[in-house]
Amino acid sequence: MDQLHFVNAFSSGFAADYEDFFTGDPASDVVSLKNYQNCLFLVHKGAGAAGIVTFTVEACDDVTPNNTTAQAFDYKTCTSGDTFSAPAAATAAAGFISTAGADQMYAIEVDADALPAGYPMVRLQCTEVDSTAVDGGGIAILGYPRYAADIMPTAIA
């Protein structure tokens, strides 16, 4: 637990209705990687067998953000129980598309060292492909702090 920092990057500001989690093509809160080596966005699709979304990652220059740039990332999918796929690489422009179905998880990992200069922050962009309502939720998990402390400073302000 000392090597992880949990961030509620998918708060009600992200999705006003968790019963239609991806409506309106939401982006997560901007998360700073200044003090961490990586960020894992863990997204859960609950009930809703049809909704499909494209996940992309944007590197951000600040928390607003004033400027963004598409970022390549790695991901795993879990469409049954707790069995995840082998890691796959997503290109910056394309990201990847979820599959239709309920009770799924998506683990999306960004390496801080791969971010472009001047873009120390990231956010997850979710773009609906099929707008059928899907229950969902998520969290950002920051890993391996550069300077560990008993209580880590916020990564979203």
Q: Which two structure tokens, joined as six digits, stand for 154? A: 């916020």
Question: Which residue would you say has higher pLDDT here, 119 or 148?
Answer: 119
Whether the CB-CB separation of 135 and 19 falls below 8 Å is answered with yes
* Residues 97-115 pLDDT 10s: 999 989 999 999 999 999 9
Of 152, 131, 140, 132, whose CA–CA distance to 38 is shortest? 140
In this prediction the pTM is 0.92
Question: Which residue would you say has higher pLDDT here, 94 or 14?
Answer: 94
* Residues 116-146 pLDDT 10s: 999 999 999 999 998 888 888 899 999 999 8
Residue 36 CB-density burial (10 A; 0-12 exposed, 13-18 middle, 19+ buried): buried
Confidence at residue 22, expressed as pLDDT on a 0 to 100 scale: 86
Q: Could you tell me the pLDDT band of residue 11, with boundaries at 50, 70 and 90?
A: confident
Q: Which two structure tokens, joined as six digits, stand for 9? A: 């990057």
pLDDT at 13 over 80: no
Domain ranges of the chain: 29-38+48-129+146-157
User: Would you list the DSSP string of 27-92?
Assistant: BPPPEE-TTEEEEEEEEEE-S-SS-EEEEEEEEESSSS-S-EEEE-EEEEEE-STT-PPPPEEE-T
